[in-house]
Structure 1
Amino acid sequence: MADQLDESVSNGAADDTDDQETAETGPAPDESVDTETSGGAIEPGSEAIEDVDGYRPLTRSTGGGGFQPESAGGAETADPTLDDYRFDIGNASFGFGPETVHGMDDRVQIRSPRTANYPWRVHSSLLIKAADNSNWIGTGWFISPNVLITAGHVVHINGSGVPGRDGWVNQIRVIPGRDGNTKPYGEATSGTFYSVRGWTEHGNPEYDYGAIILDTPLGNRTGWFGFGTYSDNDLENVTANISGYPGDKPSGTQWYAARKVDSVGPRKVFYDIDTAGGQSGSAVYRIKGGSRYGIAVHAYGGAVVNSGTRINRAVYDNMKAWKTNHAL
Structure 2
Amino acid sequence: MTNGPHTAVSNQPVELTAPAAEQAFFEGPSEGAQGGSPTAFTSDGLEQVAGRTRALSESVPAEAWTAPSAPLPDIGEASFGPPDLLETVHGPDDRVQITDTAAYPWRVNASLLVTAADNSQWIGTGWFIGPHTLVTAGHVVHIKHSGVPGRDGWVKSIQVMPGRNGTFLPFGAVTSTNFRSVTGWTADGDENFDYGALVIPTELGATTGWFGFGSWPDADLLKTSVNISGYPGDQPPGTQWYDGRGVSSVNPLKVFYDIDTAGGQSGSAVYRIHNGGRYGIAVHAYGGLTTNSGTRITKAVFDNLVLWKA
Whether contact under 8 Å (1:246, 1:275) holds in the other structure is yes
Whether contact under 8 Å (1:156, 1:166) holds in the other structure is yes
Residue 5 of structure 1 is matched in structure 2 by 5
Residue 15 of structure 1 is matched in structure 2 by 16
Whether contact under 8 Å (1:85, 1:136) holds in the other structure is no
| Distance in 1 separating the partners of 2:209 and 2:131 | 7
Which moved further from structure 2: 273-282 or 95-104? 95-104
Instruction: Please tell me the residue identity of whatever aligns with 2:91.
Output: G
Whether contact under 8 Å (2:17, 2:307) holds in the other structure is no
Please give the per-residue CA displacement for 1:191-244, whole angstroms capped at 9, x wherever unaligned.
000000000000000000000001100001100000000000000111010000
Residue 119 of structure 1 is matched in structure 2 by 105
Task: From 137, 146, 150, give the equivalent of 1:164.
Answer: 150
Residue 60 of structure 1 is matched in structure 2 by none
Instruction: Please tell me the residue identity of whatever aligns with 2:4.
Output: Q
| Distance in 1 separating the partners of 2:191 and 2:278 | 25
Instruction: Please tell me the residue identity of whatever aligns with 1:262.
Output: S
Residue 50 of structure 2 is matched in structure 1 by 53
Could you state the TM-score of these two structures normalised by the residue count of structure 2?
0.91
| Distance in 1 separating the partners of 2:183 and 2:237 | 32
Whether contact under 8 Å (1:89, 1:136) holds in the other structure is yes
Whether contact under 8 Å (2:67, 2:169) holds in the other structure is no
| Distance in 2 separating the partners of 1:170 and 1:220 | 25
Residue 38 of structure 1 is matched in structure 2 by 38
**Aligned ranges 1:281-296 → 2 under 5 Å:** 281-296=267-282
What is the SS of the residue equivalent to 1:116?
coil
CA 1:33–1:2 in 2, change beyond 3 Å: closer, same or farther?
same
Whether contact under 8 Å (2:63, 2:172) holds in the other structure is no
Residue 316 of structure 1 is matched in structure 2 by 302
How far off its partner does 1:72 sit?
Answer: 8.3
Whether contact under 8 Å (2:63, 2:173) holds in the other structure is no
Instruction: Please tell me the residue identity of whatever aligns with 2:94.
Output: D
CA 1:33–1:78 in 2, change beyond 3 Å: closer, same or farther?
closer
Which moved further from structure 2: 255-264 or 83-92? 83-92
Structure 1 alignment gaps of length 5 or more = 55-68
CA 1:276–1:16 in 2, change beyond 3 Å: closer, same or farther?
same
Structure 2 alignment gaps of length 5 or more = 19-23
| Distance in 2 separating the partners of 1:265 and 1:221 | 35
Structure 1 segments of 4+ aligned residues over 2 angstroms from their partners: 31-34, 69-81
Residue 64 of structure 1 is matched in structure 2 by none
What is the SS of the residue equivalent to 1:206?
helix
| Distance in 2 separating the partners of 1:203 and 1:84 | 30
Could you state the TM-score of these two structures normalised by the residue count of structure 1?
0.86
Please give the per-residue CA displacement for 1:293-317, whole angstroms capped at 9, x wherever unaligned.
0000000000110000000000000
Q: How many residues are paired up?
A: 300
1:246 matched to 2:232? The reply is yes
Task: From 91, 95, 102, give the equivalent of 1:103.
Answer: 91
What is the SS of the residue equivalent to 2:307?
helix
Whether contact under 8 Å (2:270, 2:284) holds in the other structure is yes
How far off its partner does 1:32 sit?
Answer: 2.4
How far off its partner does 1:288 sit?
Answer: 1.1
CA 1:247–1:72 in 2, change beyond 3 Å: closer, same or farther?
farther
Residue 92 of structure 1 is matched in structure 2 by 78
Whether contact under 8 Å (2:67, 2:166) holds in the other structure is no
Give RMSD over aligned pairs.
Answer: 2.4
CA 1:242–1:270 in 2, change beyond 3 Å: closer, same or farther?
same
Whether contact under 8 Å (1:3, 1:314) holds in the other structure is no
Instruction: Please tell me the residue identity of whatever aligns with 2:206.
Output: N
Please give the per-residue CA displacement for 1:13-55, whole angstroms capped at 9, x wherever unaligned.
25133xxx9210012x6x5263x43112x48xx551111126x
CA 1:47–1:316 in 2, change beyond 3 Å: closer, same or farther?
farther
1:210 matched to 2:196? The reply is yes
Residue 152 of structure 1 is matched in structure 2 by 138
Residue 283 of structure 2 is matched in structure 1 by 297
How far off its partner does 1:280 sit?
Answer: 0.1
Whether contact under 8 Å (2:65, 2:173) holds in the other structure is no
Residue 269 of structure 1 is matched in structure 2 by 255
| Same amino acid, percent of matched pairs | 56
Instruction: Please tell me the residue identity of whatever aligns with 1:275.
Output: T
How far off its partner does 1:83 sit?
Answer: 3.6
